[in-house]
Structure 1
Amino acid sequence: MINRRAVALNLVLLLVLAAVSLASLALGSLSIPLPEVIRALRGEGSPVTALVVTELRLPRLLAGWVTGAAFALAGVVMQTLARNRLATPGIIGIDNAATAFAVASVVGTGVSLAPPAMALTGAACATALAFGLAGATGTRGYRFIISGVAIGAVSGAITQVMLSAVPLDAANAAYPWTVGSLNARSPDALRLLAVGLGIGYLLALGLRRPMAILQLPEPVSTALGTRTGQVRLAGLALSVLLTGLAVAVAGPVGLVALIAPELARLASHPGRLPLTASALLGALLMTVSDLAGRLLLSPLEIPVGIITALAGSPYLLWLLLRQSPDINR
């Protein structure tokens, strides 16, 4: 059956994303009229306009789309598995661990793997360690979250040690992976993330019903024939894949994974798992944050990770102080 409310919400989000995307292509230190932007996208218009629109702004717009969607999709899956709003890749340390491994490949620590592969390795190691420290609780309970917070803190400290021990040029090359940035992203990493996001979205759709059943008490889920262990393992693997690839492109912008799923739940029908709405809201938040970072102090640019942190931190504090983190409340 088609949920009309979900379809209407997704269409509205697509229209808003399209409008904000056009604004992102048109606005900046050099403002370009919208008709000129359209002509540049068609391969027409002046060479200067084509350079700014298609070579400078369009790649970072696409990077914002796929990274925001990947972070948000990873967030909604992990929150659903843990039944806790705080259980996002950024909160439990996956972002920081992926960043530390990616930085290690950039600053020349003797590791020859590319940043995407290293980021995936870091994300997988952080998840496995947090899962192991959580013991029998698995992804449930606060022990998993506290373990992840500790892992994230240690990973962040390791990143700072690496940056302080290398020449300034190497540290500058790794800087985007420490704050989150969409400027001059690697085309290869972007293509890899786009493929991974497509595969991950299809896998998430396949896990939608089992993950929804996991919101019921454990005996009920088991009685309905759901293999809870396999579902959680598949969901964790999906979150690791999406987070690692997204960090390899944009660095740690984890608060998108916290905010986008929550906004999607508020706008969706109660009890449904808003995968598509979360992904669209993640892409929208990244696009808006990147545009704000380019305009607020123009011609200076504020990295998108700083903008999302400024916007998301008050919400995180409100969630901790005012609301139950249980996802079903």
Structure 2
Amino acid sequence: MNDVVPGAKPLAAATPVRRATGRRTALLTVVGLLVLCALITVSVANGEMPLPPLDAAKGLFGLGDSATVLVVQEFRAPRTVAAVVAGAGLAVAGALLQRLFRNPLASPDVMGVTGGASFGAVAMLAAGASQMLMPLAALGGGLLAAVLLGVFSWRSGAGVTRLVLVGLAVQAGLSAAVSFMVVRFPAELAGSALQWTTGSVYGRSWTEVWSAGGGVAIALFVAFALNRRLAVLDLGDDSAGTLGLNTQAARMQILLVAIVLASLAAALAGPVAFVALAVPHMVRFLAGPPTAGTLALSGLAGAVLLLASDLVAQYLLPVSGLPVGVVTATLGAPWLLVLMIRQSSSVNRSVR
């Protein structure tokens, strides 16, 4: 007698679907890479001294005259690379959290992680520590926020929606602490701290990029290595346990990787909103169900979105000098409201 799982698609029918999803993901990845290359060229070509795009692209690789190479590599490339790396880290962190908690509202900025990273980095800035220590401070702040979230959620017996609400409260409390520190700063530090806490890649140096960006690269590698465990968790805890997976350990590993990614990304760009929340939704809408390919596409889309937002903040808005966080927050606030309304509606329908 043949054993058939009710509702399961035959292998012959499922294989073409997987192939179509893979082709769509590959096509979107190629398009995303082309768009990212174009944005990088625009970013390094524009500034107080505009450069021809071809000369700027050559200067990025150390070719051309020495003045062009200096301007591109020392002043413009660090900001561009910081936006790319931070965007990728935030987007992958958001994809991991949304998939782990099975909730579209789960993201580092909503759950307080980026606020905690901001708190740690500003505290380190107030102490006058070296820029090399900024990623460690941001990571410590992100872990602090995660601990606070776990404590308050455990005490309230939180479901996933309650977890998000507690995260918003943690984010607000840590933001208030950061604002207090900024107010108490000496005048020469207050301006830079305030700009950083709104989300900005202005003035990033290669020291910051290599220290935080290197950590993001390692965490991204670990995230892709854990994707198979995440796919098993998608089957449910009972099925995952039957397959031999320690579900609690796997969840803690994935959660820790997401916190590291978000915290180190915040060390580069500040607590940038919207990227981690919205990019996974857009990728699922365009590419389909989550796979290792769509996880990579999320990182690429996050890099494109944050770099494009930085260019908008620099050149397309009537007010000059706005940090990139203003652009992403303007987009993110209505998106978060729509998601919360949809989440509330789905909960009400399930209760009925």
Query: With structure 2 as the length reference, what TM-score do the two structures score?
Result: 0.84
SS of 1:182's partner is coil
Offset at 1:214? 2.0
The residue number in structure 1 matching 2:135 is 116
The one-letter amino acid of 2:80's match is L
Equivalence for 1:86: 105
Cα RMSD over matched residues? 2.6
TM-superposed CA distance for 1:27, in Å, is 3.0
Contact 2:121–2:138 (8 Å) recurs in 1: yes
**Match for residue 280 of structure 1?**
300
**Partner SS, residue 65 of structure 1:** helix
- Using the TM superposition, name which of 299-308 and 97-106 deviates more: 299-308
**Which range moved further: 193-202 or 36-45?**
36-45
Find the partner of 1:194 among 210, 213, 231. Answer: 213
The answer as to whether partners of 1:137 and 1:144 remain within 8 angstroms in 2 is no
**Alpha-carbon distance between aligned partners in 1 of 2:157 and 2:111, rounded to the nearest angstrom:** 13
Measured at CA, do residues 47 and 156 of structure 1 come closer, stay the same or move farther in structure 2, by a change above 3 Å?
Answer: same
Deviations along 1:184-228, one digit per CA (max 9) or x if unpaired, are: 114223112222222212211122122123233332332232221
d(CA) in 2 for partners of 1:325, 1:265? 21
Task: Pick the aligned partner of 1:210 from 208, 221, 229.
Answer: 229
Hey, what's the Cα distance between the residues in 2 that align with 1:49 and 1:55?
10
Give 1:318's aligned residue: 338
Equivalent of 1:165 in 181, 184, 188: 184
Quote how far apart the aligned CAs of 1:182 are.
Answer: 0.8
Equivalence for 2:262: 243
The corresponding residue for 2:321 is: 301
**Residue of structure 2 in register with 1:72 after alignment:** 91
1:325 and 1:216 mapped to 2: Cα distance?
Answer: 25
Letter in 1 for 2:180: V
Q: Which of 15, 18, 25 does residue 44 from structure 2 map onto?
A: 25
Looking at structure 2, the residues matched to 26 and 132 of structure 1 have their Cα atoms a distance apart, in angstroms, of 48
C-alpha contact 1:40 1:53 (8 A) present in aligned 2: yes
Task: Give the Cα–Cα distance (whole angstroms) in 1 for the partners of residues 181 and 130 of structure 2.
Answer: 13
**Greater Rg by CA:** 2
1:13 counterpart (32, 44, 48): 32
Distance across 2 between alignment mates of 1:113 and 1:187 = 10
Structure 2 Cα separation of the partners of residues 22 and 277 of structure 1: 20
Work out the CA distance in 2 between the residues paired with 1:111 and 1:37. 31
Change (3 A) 1:271 1:296: closer
> How far does the alpha carbon of each residue in 1:20-61 deviate from its partner, in whole angstroms, 9 at most, with x for none?
211222234443222222332343444543343222221111
Q: CA deviation at 1:251?
A: 0.7
- Tell me, which stretches of 5 or more residues in structure 2 are unaligned? 1-17, 347-352
Q: What percent of counterpart residues are identical?
A: 36
Secondary structure at the counterpart of residue 110 of structure 2: coil
Partner of 1:175: 194
- The equivalent of 2:54 in structure 1 is 35
Shift in Å, 1:137: 9.4
Further displaced range: 115-124 or 311-320: 311-320
Residue 3 of structure 2 is matched in structure 1 by none
157 and 117 in structure 1: CA distance in 2 versus 1, 3 angstrom threshold: same
265 and 246 in structure 1: CA distance in 2 versus 1, 3 angstrom threshold: same
Matches for 1:139-150 after TM superposition, within 5 Å: 141-150=160-169
Name the count of aligned residue pairs: 326
Partner of 2:288: 269
**Partner Cα distance (2:311, 2:255) in 1:** 31
Q: Which moved more, 1:41-50 or 1:54-63?
A: 41-50
Matching residue's letter, 2:303:
A
